[in-house]
Amino acid sequence: MGQFIGHNFEIADAAGNSIGTIESDFAIRDQYEIKLSDSSSVPIDPIVVATVVIDAIQGN
């Protein structure tokens, strides 16, 4: 089951500009909130997959 520490990650485009964040809060189960400043400028699916990969790398 999840961890008890929240995490915040910044999402950047190829030019290094911030386009959003991935955040998790103090929780028993893994739950992430993905916020994008302009979802029309980036594909959503790879961002969701990256979130799952980050969670897996953390050993959750």
Assigned token pair, 14: 């190829």
Res 35: pLDDT: 92
pLDDT for residue 21: 92
What does the pLDDT read at residue 60? Answer: 56
Name the amino acid, one letter, at 29.
R
pLDDT of residue 52 exceeding 60, the answer is yes
Query: Whole-angstrom Cα distance, residue 59 to residue 2?
Result: 9
Which pLDDT belongs to residue 1? 46
Are 11 and 21 in contact by the 8 Å Cβ rule? The answer is yes
Whether pTM > 0.75 for this model: the answer is: no
The pLDDT tens digits of the residues spanning 14-47 come to 888 899 998 887 666 778 889 998 777 778 898 8
